[in-house]
Structure 1
């Protein structure tokens, strides 16, 4: 299996969490049933404390840093695991910030009017946390409230045809802009992890697959492609590390966090696009097989790239931010 995460500067807690996540998500690929949450796998992740990692300790969470709390999210993204883990981590962070108890079951997060917005794995969620300016609402939709749909990767992206009355409302000391940034951060982290997984999958394949009496990795053209992939993966991983570090300083220097989000979103989206294309080039036909792990991984990369604001949207926001200074 592929080792996902940072190679340098890891703290002990992050390494322990990542090792635990490697074990939890070491089972068979979840892509075959991607539209639905695997209840057994979710229970394992929940038992490990992944979903409450970012929530404050006085509200039932673990109070971990951004880098530590998103370590399991990175592993799950690299494995192609079909769980709304990152969304639930953020939902519980928001609930605890609003002084509410955390949720043990899977949750979603939306900003603004929830009607019609795609929600990852909506049909299987216990709650949807809706954020407006200065307010937070907790919705508990029923099966009849959802319009079912799936994205390119086969994952559920349901939307609310009927918005139920809020079960709970509370004041939220987090701006909607910061929540939008956190959702974009999640997709950047997932893209970076998947990009690295695609690289390591390609390295393994090229080192073992032989053509004309030697491994593919011995051909100069392949070496060049792998080198470019490695550079893309390195820069994407650094961008993800940067935005997670900035997340922990969001209350004191929010502008730095939002700038880091924009940079990470642009850089990881570019890297995911290029790495996915190169990975399929070096794999050839087998990479497009539905049974081969690269295929569901790259489809998720393409979907994550366009969610929570596209590369173009965040590039424009970054430019506007820099020009306003």
Structure 2
């Protein structure tokens, strides 16, 4: 945690609160990229947080960055902030440099991307599916193979064919096709495919966890406001026992989300994540469904209308629940790690800071 965390949170909260209006979210769903807001975010340094200043970053650490992403989730930020940060973190470690433009990444070991040297550059062939925000990005951090070696490159998307898609929250999830496009001056970095793909999905899982926690806070706030404002049979809704039960569920699950997300964020900053991030994503994904259900039951029909803000948040909860691995995915992964540890009891594994050995799929 940097010394300026409170100031960073205050500044980020002000930017998101002032700009992430219902109209902005509606416009984003119609395919309008919020370039003015992106420029504000980039100029403030939020899109390069947790990167060293001597490498073009804004400084800070993972605690700063994921607290910003928590706020992004709270206000439903319709921009690729998480994807840009993760691409920059991974790419900077490999020696790539970045501008302030939005970028994305596709680091999946199952993708069939090939780089073939041709003259001054490389011919790129293959497809990457469900790439977040590819239609809004200028470059993509891309995992592939060259001469039977696993490599990563920072690839321009100018000549790629992009088939636009969306998740349930209407955020871009695109199919990117590279039909033997030529990229001159491309630089490749040899990597370990397993290590880089595992690191990327863990970072993305924590990003989604932080964003779910933020969205849960917003859903709780919307629900409390509605329960206090709405009158039924001469009484405020919050005076009815069934409504109080929904509020209790929302409050408990939101608190659990924040606790799990914060625990994983601090663990990552301390150099640990093999156990903490899977546990957090499992909890946050499970809670996302519970929170969305309770909020819609509390709001009734009005919460289903497009004019209300609630659906923008609950559709994000449902989308982020499945992205970067749902609770079943991380449960299986965590089970493999636990079963491989022959020297510790389950209690020791859950309560100690002991780290696991990587398990290949």
Shared fold by TM > 0.5? Answer: yes
Q: Distance in 1 between matches of 2:75 and 2:336?
A: 36
Closer, same or farther in 2 for the Cα pair 1:148/1:19, shift >3 Å?
same
Q: Distance in 2 between matches of 1:196 and 1:117?
A: 31
Pick from 173, 176, 187 the counterpart of residue 160 of structure 1.
Answer: 176
What is the CA-CA distance between 1:280 and the residue it aligns to? 0.6
Which residue does the alignment assign to 1:219?
240
Within-5 A mapping of 1:181-260: 181-250=202-271, 256-260=272-276
Which residue does the alignment assign to 1:121?
133
Measured against aligned partners, the alpha-carbon deviations of 1:192-218 in whole angstroms (never above 9, x if no partner) come to: 111121111101111111111221111
Q: Distance in 1 between matches of 2:325 and 2:159?
A: 27
Which residue does the alignment assign to 2:8?
17
User: Is the contact between residue 106 and residue 128 of structure 2 (CA under 8 Å) also seen in structure 1?
Assistant: no
Measured against aligned partners, the alpha-carbon deviations of 1:227-273 in whole angstroms (never above 9, x if no partner) come to: 111111111111111111122233xxxxx402111101110011110
Within-5 A mapping of 1:1-325: 13-25=4-16, 26-27=18-19, 28-29=21-22, 30-34=24-28, 35-112=31-108, 113=111, 115-131=127-143, 135-142=151-158, 145-162=161-178, 164=181, 167-171=186-190, 175-250=196-271, 256-325=272-341
Greater Cα shift, 104-113 or 158-167: 158-167
- Where 2:274 maps in the other structure, the secondary structure is helix
User: Is the contact between residue 260 and residue 280 of structure 2 (CA under 8 Å) also seen in structure 1?
Assistant: yes
More strand by share: 2
Closer, same or farther in 2 for the Cα pair 1:11/1:97, shift >3 Å?
closer
User: Is the contact between residue 59 and residue 102 of structure 1 (CA under 8 Å) also seen in structure 2?
Assistant: no
Q: Distance in 2 between matches of 1:11 and 1:98?
A: 24
Q: TM-score normalised to the size of structure 1? A: 0.89
Larger Rg: 2
Considering Cα pairs closer than 8 Å and 6+ residues apart, tell me whether 1 or 2 has the greater RCO: 1
Which residue does the alignment assign to 1:7?
none
Q: TM-score normalised to the size of structure 2? A: 0.81
Q: Number of aligned residue pairs: give it.
A: 311
Q: Distance in 2 between matches of 1:126 and 1:190?
A: 24
Greater Cα shift, 95-104 or 295-304: 95-104
What is the CA-CA distance between 1:165 and the residue it aligns to? 5.2
Closer, same or farther in 2 for the Cα pair 1:249/1:11, shift >3 Å?
closer
User: Is the contact between residue 37 and residue 121 of structure 1 (CA under 8 Å) also seen in structure 2?
Assistant: no
- Where 2:178 maps in the other structure, the secondary structure is coil
What is the CA-CA distance between 1:116 and the residue it aligns to? 3.4
User: Is the contact between residue 178 and residue 258 of structure 1 (CA under 8 Å) also seen in structure 2?
Assistant: no
Closer, same or farther in 2 for the Cα pair 1:45/1:152, shift >3 Å?
same
- Where 1:195 maps in the other structure, the secondary structure is helix
Greater Cα shift, 166-175 or 146-155: 166-175
User: Is the contact between residue 62 and residue 269 of structure 2 (CA under 8 Å) also seen in structure 1?
Assistant: yes
User: Is the contact between residue 262 and residue 314 of structure 1 (CA under 8 Å) also seen in structure 2?
Assistant: yes
What is the CA-CA distance between 1:300 and the residue it aligns to? 1.2
User: Is the contact between residue 108 and residue 120 of structure 1 (CA under 8 Å) also seen in structure 2?
Assistant: yes
